Amino acid sequence: LLASANSNIDLDIDPLAAVWSDALTDLCMFVRNAAAMDQSNQAAANSADIVSDIISTIRVTLRCEMTYPEAKKCGAAAGQALSNMATNNKPLQRQLMESEIRDCKSPIESIYVYLLASTNSKTNMAGLMLILNTIKDDDSLSKLLCTTETGQMLAGRVGEMFGESNDDEADEKTMLYVILEEIIQRGHLTLLLTTDPALEAYGLLNALAVYCNENPGPLVRSQIFDMSLLTAIARILTKCHDLLQNVWKSADDTELGDVGMDDIMAAHRSLASTVSILGTITTDIEQQLAVRVLDSGIIQQVIALLGLLSQNLPRIEKASTASTLPETESGLIKRLFMFKCSLIQIIGNISHNNTAAQNLIRELHGLALVLDHMRIDDNHPFIKEYAVVALRSLLENNPTSQAYVSDMEAKGVVQDPKLASAGIQASLDSSGHISVKREASTNTFNVKENSGT
């Protein structure tokens, strides 16, 4: 019946498309119910080649699901039937992965892609369940998913769906995370973050951030974050830096560089997930992982990003007249990248009890950059406190870095316009102390500061 229906109708032109779809739905629901956790019925369906008929039904109905609600419902029933037939059926799972992933000539024609591209959430869930049952506890099929063109496209779509879902309690998001968790645990995430990872991979990074928060143990971190994955993360930070540099290259704050808003949002999401990941894995970091982080180039990119953000996100102090960022497109974009506190935290974490990290950060001018943030900034609450904690880690048991700070000298005083209008001026004496006086008065107040601040 299924074969006859699929070979004799064209739902795009058939005037009885709705009737045909309803009939196919009933057949697919019968197969779905009969195959549910019943290996004898699964075997009977395989021998009757019902799998190929179900796959044909999925393709026929989902092509016109936007036109006929009946076809949309049929596609979901067919997807559920295929998922049930493959549950605990390893030969069928492998057959589908080989024919629809490994040997698929056109990725968009893969039955997995059809299921995830549907506008029906029930069809999506059927596709996700099929993927999960296939790769769960099967390293070879998980790797096949992450190494083929069609598989990488499919896994990328799973990550994209996870990143776009805002309902953390939804069954679909839970299913998406379980699939990505399986990929992460098997060390296959690096295969998806290739030598040139796209910023659109923020969904995969978001899943990795969740995994890090749920599995904070040092053993897990050492196993997951190999050199390849850390290098991929460093490249993502580089891409974020280069994109932002291009955004802010214009001298006119009301204009942007040649960057689209979609790219900016992808960079924002990728950077948010990446700094969350790094903040987690560098907290109480074990020595072996710390060495990998230093060798991967991540710290160089963290410092470069902090410098770029410091240059383009103005410090807003309480006495400043500029209490908010400008209401320009550039100003709105700047609000998306308030990551300076997180970047300073990463610097402090990696340098804790780590002389090699302390020296590297000092040589990259990261120490001076942290010192520059030991001031109030209403755009970044508590940034001064973040900088103080990081500074302690950067200087602890490191005489060279301590001497670097001690040798710093005050070069001058920035005059505040409001104080100047009140007739008050500040100056720097020969000993490095600040002197504040009122122009119309001979009274002078000497303000002595602690050494090194």
In this prediction, residue 250 carries a pLDDT of 61
Q: Which three-class secondary structure string do you get for the chain?
A: CHHHHHHHCCCCCCCCHHHHHHHHHHHHHHHHHHHCCCHHHHHHHHHCCHHHHHHHHHHHHHCCCCCCHHHHHHHHHHHHHHHHHHCCCHHHHHHHHHHHHHCCCCHHHCHHHHHHHCCCHHHHHHHHHHHHHHHCCCHHHHHHHHHCHHHHHHHHHHHHHHHHCCCCCCHHHHHHHHHHHHHHHCCCHHHHCCCCCCHHHHHHHHHHHHHHHHCCCHHHHHHHCCHHHHHHHHHHHHHHHHHHHHHCCCCCCCCCCCCCHHHHHHHHHHHHHHHHHHHHHCCCCCHHHHHHHHHHCHHHHHHHHHHHHHHHCCCCCCCCCCCCCCCCHHHHHHHHHCCHHHHHHHHHHHHCCCHHHHHHHHHCCHHHHHHCCCCCCCCCCCHHHHHHHHHHHHHCCCHHHHHHHHCCCCCCCCCCHHHHHCCEEEEECCCCCEEEEECCCCCEEEECCCCCC
Q: Phi and psi of 389, rounded to 5°?
A: -65, -45
CB–CB of 161/125 below 8 Å? no
* pTM of structure: 0.82
- Can you state the angle between helices 355-363 and 399-406, rounded to 10 degrees? 30
The pLDDT > 70 percentage for the chain reads 87
Confidence of residue 434 (pLDDT cuts 50, 70, 90): confident
**Least confident residue range of 24-28, 361-365, 383-387, 421-425:** 421-425
CB–CB of 363/301 below 8 Å? no
In this prediction, residue 442 carries a pLDDT of 46
In this prediction, residue 319 carries a pLDDT of 45
Q: Which residues contact 103 (CB under 8 A, 6 or more apart)?
A: none
Confidence of residue 220 (pLDDT cuts 50, 70, 90): confident
pLDDT in tens, 225-256: 999 999 999 999 999 999 999 888 764 555 55
Q: Region 362-385: what's the mean pLDDT?
A: 88
Q: Region 280-296: what's the mean pLDDT?
A: 94
CB–CB of 374/391 below 8 Å? yes
**Least confident residue range of 117-131, 159-173, 411-425:** 411-425
CB–CB of 156/201 below 8 Å? yes
Can you say whether residue 365 is alpha, beta or left, with left for phi > 0 and alpha for psi between -120 and 50 degrees? left
In this prediction, residue 420 carries a pLDDT of 79
In this prediction, residue 251 carries a pLDDT of 47
Q: Region 375-385: what's the mean pLDDT?
A: 83
pLDDT, greater one: 411 or 126: 126
Confidence of residue 413 (pLDDT cuts 50, 70, 90): confident
Q: Region 1-13: what's the mean pLDDT?
A: 63
Q: What is the pLDDT of the chain when averaged over all its residues? A: 86
